[in-house]
A and B are shown apart, each in its own frame.
Chain A
């Protein structure tokens, strides 16, 4: 065999190795995405049960006990109910949150009578059965026993059970009841943390990079700093969490569980990443441009802010977004500073107690209820969407800044 065909064969083989590697990587990504989507997509729908209401116009609505009134109306739909066990079985099909929806309905219809069927949130157990997450076995399905199943069958035959879009998922914070749990609190908490992390780490890191690259004299001391910054980038994130705990909570006595502290801790973690990226970007600015500016009589500061930084900005921004994207998905340091608490309120500011998206995912994944499984995946989908948006912003900014020059 001659050497040319041998070489061609080698080339082909090498190409094939490369293709295989790419295909394996893509299929892993595909499996991951498929798994998350197929589990999580059902969390965007929620089971509702229709209750026949008959509340007359002349009744003083403030005197109504909403829970009792709703239960009464619901039980009226099943005249055959005799025992307390049956009554309890029927009522457990409604969510504990249904009474709040009922209260809202009452408020909306002040001075009007309410009649006919209205939709109310179903319990998570019923939801799991309707979505088919738990399969029916005889007269039971998961945590729905034979008593409840009678009523479920009745309601279904009258088309009084329906899947509607889940308004809780994106509009409320965490809850003990899976059907009422949402990720709004976690999203807002994450946004506050990331904003603070960016506002703190970006200017600090850029100025540090400028100083190290352009102003500091090169000696033992600057070498030491450089080595240490590179090492910091490799420090496990939980260590930064401990640092945040020691400094921000114990020393400065900032509020526990607050996105402010989370953001500051994430800023510590992101700082070395941005410094390294910014230094590389500053280093890659052609020295001829800086020489030209200096030669025209520009001072060092004028040269740095007029030419070096604008030219390095696309690179710096890319590094920053990578750092921020890393921070947005970070859980460990947030656990250390108490952002892992069960918080039912959407935070109103960076000082309020809050969780963050990855922490919420961690909390839900840990939860025994089946209904939290799909919400875990839904939260992951939201987190991934955030990351994609962040990366798109990075690409857009880079393109825009590059065009300017």
Chain B
């Protein structure tokens, strides 16, 4: 297991208007590991995730204090361009949201946007590679130019993963990627996550503790906007230090 620090979150406070959503969160995310964020609804998991690629910039009333360091650089600094940041940090959303375009165009969107392919052949190559990485290529290779919205829910989600991978990110943020999927599609995504962590750093928000236990190396438990406990997944699930964590894991709250 690699032990390189990829993202370091320090003293992070987030306010939505008058309401404080995150309280003094400190979290380290290691390179090429899967970190899962768990906790009851409204505990701030998704807010924390969205801070990492500055999706919260879109929310006008959102105020962020504290530091988020990506490879020791503060991502909220004025010199950081959110567009480049989101190229380095891809995101997969709760509900599969392919663009209303063809499968090919969905995956090619990012590379085209960032000018990554110099020729048509290069672009084809990126699309095929990304689809292969997300395990979708074999299923869709005959209908690359049909609309992405025509795929099944699980396939759509893997298409979204392929789309995120196409810009060759370093980190992949996943916001409950399986909550809208059936168990078989979920299993495929989980296998995919296990494969992807060879190359990418993954942060996943999940409601399912079994999923967190299955896919992640480290787990962070959050409650009411505070990070209660963080550690190796094995340790957290077998021997939680904090009472609230224990309650949540054993199903007493949440």
Footprint of B on A, CB under 8 Å? 217-218, 286, 288-289, 291-299, 302, 307, 311, 405
Chain A nearest CB, measured from B42 CB (Å): 19
By a CB distance below 8 angstroms, the chain A residues around B83 are 297-299
By a CB distance below 8 angstroms, the chain B residues around A286 are 97
By a CB distance below 8 angstroms, the chain A residues around B82 are 297
Known: A293-B109, A297-B86, A405-B101. 17 other contacts (CB 8 A): A286-B97, A288-B95, A288-B97, A289-B100, A291-B55, A292-B163, A294-B58, A294-B86, A295-B86, A296-B167, A297-B82, A297-B83, A297-B85, A297-B110, A297-B167, A298-B83, A311-B100
The 8 A CB mask of B22-63 against A (1 = contact, 0 = none) is 000000000000000000000000000000010100101000
CA distance A291 to B97 in the complex (A): 9
Q: Is B203 in the interface zone, CB < 8 Å from A?
A: no
Q: Is B113 in the interface zone, CB < 8 Å from A?
A: yes
By a CB distance below 8 angstroms, the chain A residues around B91 are 295
Q: Is B87 in the interface zone, CB < 8 Å from A?
A: yes
Q: Does A295 lie within 8 Å of B90, measured CB to CB?
A: yes
Q: Does A291 lie within 8 Å of B167, measured CB to CB?
A: no
By a CB distance below 8 angstroms, the chain A residues around B55 are 291, 294-295
Given contacts A296-B163, A298-B113, contact A307 B99 (CB under 8 A): yes
Chain B nearest CB, measured from A31 CB (Å): 45
Q: Is B114 in the interface zone, CB < 8 Å from A?
A: yes
Instruction: Kindly identify, within residues 72 to 125 of chain B, every residue whose CB is under 8 Å from any CB belonging to chain A.
Output: 82-87, 90-91, 93, 95, 97-101, 109-110, 113-114
Q: Is B7 in the interface zone, CB < 8 Å from A?
A: no
Q: Is B164 in the interface zone, CB < 8 Å from A?
A: yes
Q: Is B160 in the interface zone, CB < 8 Å from A?
A: yes
Query: Can you list 19 pairs linking A and B with CB atoms under 8 Å apart?
Result: A288-B93, A288-B97, A289-B97, A289-B99, A291-B58, A292-B160, A293-B99, A295-B55, A295-B86, A295-B90, A295-B164, A296-B90, A296-B164, A297-B84, A297-B86, A297-B87, A302-B113, A311-B100, A405-B100
Most buried by B among A217, A218, A286, A291: A291
The SS class assigned to the A binding surface is helix
CA distance A293 to B55 in the complex (A): 11
By a CB distance below 8 angstroms, the chain B residues around A288 are 93, 95, 97
Q: Does A296 lie within 8 Å of B60, measured CB to CB?
A: no
CA distance A299 to B87 in the complex (A): 12
Contact of A295 among B53, B60, B101, B147 (CB under 8 A): B53
Given contacts A218-B60, A297-B113, A298-B113, contact A292 B86 (CB under 8 A): no
CA distance A50 to B60 in the complex (A): 81
Contact of B86 among A217, A296, A302, A405 (CB under 8 A): A296
Most buried by B among A217, A289, A294, A298: A294
CA distance A218 to B110 in the complex (A): 30
Query: For residue A310, which residue of chain B has the nearest CB?
Result: B100
Q: Does B113 lie within 8 Å of A296, measured CB to CB?
A: yes
Q: Does B114 lie within 8 Å of A297, measured CB to CB?
A: yes
Instruction: Kindly identify, within residues 148 to 167 of chain B, every residue whose CB is under 8 Å from any CB belonging to chain A.
Output: 160, 163-164, 167
Query: For residue A219, which residue of chain B has the nearest CB?
Result: B60
Q: Does B113 lie within 8 Å of A291, measured CB to CB?
A: no
By a CB distance below 8 angstroms, the chain A residues around B90 are 295-296
CA distance A217 to B17 in the complex (A): 14
CA distance A292 to B95 in the complex (A): 10
By a CB distance below 8 angstroms, the chain A residues around B97 are 286, 288-289, 291-292
Chain B nearest CB, measured from A11 CB (Å): 38
Across the A-B interface, the 9 shortest Cβ-Cβ residue pairs: A288-B97, A297-B86, A405-B100, A295-B91, A292-B97, A297-B83, A297-B87, A296-B110, A288-B95
Chain A nearest CB, measured from B69 CB (Å): 20
CA distance A99 to B83 in the complex (A): 76
Q: Does A292 lie within 8 Å of B93, measured CB to CB?
A: yes
By a CB distance below 8 angstroms, the chain B residues around A405 are 100-101, 147
Q: Does A217 lie within 8 Å of B60, measured CB to CB?
A: yes
Query: For residue B60, which residue of chain A has the nearest CB?
Result: A217
By a CB distance below 8 angstroms, the chain B residues around A297 are 82-87, 110, 113-114, 167
By a CB distance below 8 angstroms, the chain A residues around B85 are 297
By a CB distance below 8 angstroms, the chain B residues around A217 are 60
Query: For residue B82, which residue of chain A has the nearest CB?
Result: A297
